Amino acid sequence: MTLKESKFYFLQDDCCEEFGTEAGKERYQKTEQRYQALQDEHQKEQNPAIREHLLRNLFPPLAYYQTLLSDGFSQQAALEFVEKETEKAALQKKAAMKSMTRLPFTYLMYRLFVKKFMTKNFPTEGWETQWLECSGTSIRFHLNRCLYWDICQKEGCPELCQVYCKNDDIAFAGLLPKIRFERSQTLGTGGTCCDFCFRKG
């Protein structure tokens, strides 16, 4: 898979806008090379759900971040550049979430399918999910292990994980007013778990 096939298909244009055409193209090419290298390093991963996360969501920002650091940008500057891109992708997901709120009984449908969705898309190979409640008013679970946190640590950039965490806040805001998303901590921001809560609006 190439970056243009990921959720960050717009990265080349943004690099050219941020750094100028020539420098932007060069930085994008370096990011693409790093993206391909990350895929090679994890080619043994066969679980389709995890590969989807790695190739489409996780590796593109990671490759961009590592490229920026290797080009001499400070950690803070690199995080800010990456967050611009992840926010753009998260806003697209927010719009998709918003479309769910047009359905009748949005919370009921969400409640009925959430466990099946989590089992399929967040498998035990990458996440440890502890279910706490799935009632008529609240859906609560803890993620005690997370693929994104594990990969960021493995790649030596745990500070990057907070960027992925912020994506949830942006995307799940699209469920308002039918469903309210709450979370007080994440592994990526120093918490003991990611405590997800979806409350009926």
Q: Give me the pLDDT at residue 39, please.
A: 96
Q: Give me the pLDDT at residue 47, please.
A: 93
Q: Can you spell out the DSSP letters for 135-188?
A: -SSEEEEEEEE-HHHHHHHHTT-GGGHHHHHHHHHHHHGGGTTTEEEE-S--GG
Which portions of the chain are predicted below pLDDT 70?
none
Q: Give me the pLDDT at residue 110, please.
A: 95
Give 83-105 pLDDT, tens digit per residue.
999 999 999 999 999 998 998 89
Q: Give me the pLDDT at residue 45, please.
A: 79
CA 86 distance to own-chain centroid: 8
Q: Give me the pLDDT at residue 15, please.
A: 98
Residue 190 and residue 161 in contact, taking contact as beta carbons nearer than 8 Å: no
Q: Give me the pLDDT at residue 144, please.
A: 99
Sorted by where each starts, the structural domains of the chain and their CATH numbers stand as 3-200 (3.30.1380)
